Amino acid sequence: MTNIDPNNLPRHIAIIMDGNGRWAKQHAMGRIRGHKRGAQAVRTTVTACREIGIAYLTLFAFSSENWGRPGEEVNALMDLLADYLDKETPTLQKRGIRLAAIGDIDKLYLPVRKKLLEVMKLTERNDKMVLNLALSYGSRDEIVAAVRKMVADQRDGKLKIDDIDKETLARYLFTASMPDPDLLIRTSGEYRISNFLLWQLAYTELYFTDVLWPDFKKSDLLAAIAVYQQRERRFGLTSEQIQGK
Ligand code: IPE
Ligand code: IPE
Ligand code: MG
């Protein structure tokens, strides 16, 4: 397995888990079977991140655009989410993982939403890792909602226009309490962001792999982290400045 440097870990990894449908097709199965195998890869990845010592893991599980998929598939995805929460809660507790969620949570089917809020409450004191699920999430919607809330707060005298800066806007996003991702992984050979964390990814290192999400293993995660560790994050400065020469 790839060796990684424990002193240079990404604090926050975000993953666009893509390719369940194509995996199913390759195996002559229906798309829903692909999502089931995808849920298995979620378990593996959460465990691996916890073992490695990643502080924040954000998983893009369902986009605001995914509501437009066939009803049967949407239902199956909601059921899978409920099933994941049921089965994984003891593990989250045992391993000290706090569950968080970003997105238009109110749109989720009621039993799923209830379960999600329950598990978030139950795990709120866990401090070893944050597992953040992006559900019914769209980044443009998130930014629009933030702007609306800022305007309302300005109207109510809670916010002054002159005080609005980058940090202010960041505080109005769903991710207010989290650092920006250091590493974004997208599986399945697609090279796009698909309306995910547009603001937060400003200086994130991007990593694309052809591996389909259901096939994603700990070794793939380690390979991504190893590539991340070879990158020089310059944040607009020069290499000499970064290296303190
Ligand atoms: C990702 O796999 C899972 C979700 C978007 C919910 P897809 O379902 O998008 O798989 P492909 O892209 O059709 O292969
Ligand atoms: C992005 O994948 C959303 C999730 C992984 C949940 P999609 O498969 O929906 O994205 P597009 O349609 O290929 O851009
Ligand atoms: Mg896809």
The pLDDT tens digits of the residues spanning 102-142 come to 999 999 999 999 999 999 999 999 999 999 999 999 999 99
In a domain, 86, yes or no: yes
In a domain, 170, yes or no: no
Buried b (16+ CB within 10 A) or exposed e, 34-53: bbbbbbebbeebbebbbebe
Nearest to 38 by CA among 83, 69, 72: 83
Whether 1 shows a pLDDT value over 90: the answer reads no
In a domain, 166, yes or no: no
**Residue 236 CA: distances (Å) to CA of 199, 202, 241:** 17, 11, 10
Indicate which CATH number applies to the domain containing 237: 3.40.1180.10
In a domain, 164, yes or no: no
**Single-letter amino acid code for the residue at 55:** A
- Are the beta carbons of 102 and 178 closer than 8 angstroms? no
- Mean pLDDT, range 192-202, rounded to an integer: 98
Q: What is the pLDDT of residues 136-150, one digit of tens each?
A: 999 999 999 999 999
Whether 202 shows a pLDDT value over 90: the answer reads yes
Q: What is the pLDDT of residues 85-98, one digit of tens each?
A: 999 999 999 999 99
Q: Determine whether the shortest distance from the Cβ of 49 to ligand 1 is under 6 A.
A: no
What is the domain count for the chain?
1
In a domain, 37, yes or no: yes
In a domain, 173, yes or no: no
| Residue 20 among the catalytic residues | no
Q: Measuring from each residue's beta carbon to the nearest atom of ligand 2, which residues come in under 6 Å? A: 16-18, 60-63, 66, 190, 192, 194
Of 8, 18, 162, 165, catalytic:
18
241 CA to middle of ligand 1, Å? 41
In a domain, 2, yes or no: no
| Residue 18 among the catalytic residues | yes
The residue segments making up the domain with residue 84 are 12-138+180-243
Helices (H), the chain: 20-26, 31-52, 71-94, 110-122, 139-155, 166-172, 218-230, 239-242
In a domain, 35, yes or no: yes
Nearest to 129 by CA among 96, 89, 174: 96
Collapsed DSSP state (helix, strand, coil) of residue 101? strand
Task: Tell which one of 66, 73, 132, 209 to mutate to probe ligand 2, the residue whose CB is within 8 A of the most ligand atoms.
Answer: 66
188 CA to middle of ligand 2, Å? 10
Task: Tell which one of 15, 18, 135 to mutate to probe ligand 1, the residue whose CB is within 8 A of the most ligand atoms.
Answer: 18
What letter does residue 23 receive in the DSSP assignment? H
- Are the beta carbons of 50 and 218 closer than 8 angstroms? no
- Are the beta carbons of 62 and 134 closer than 8 angstroms? yes
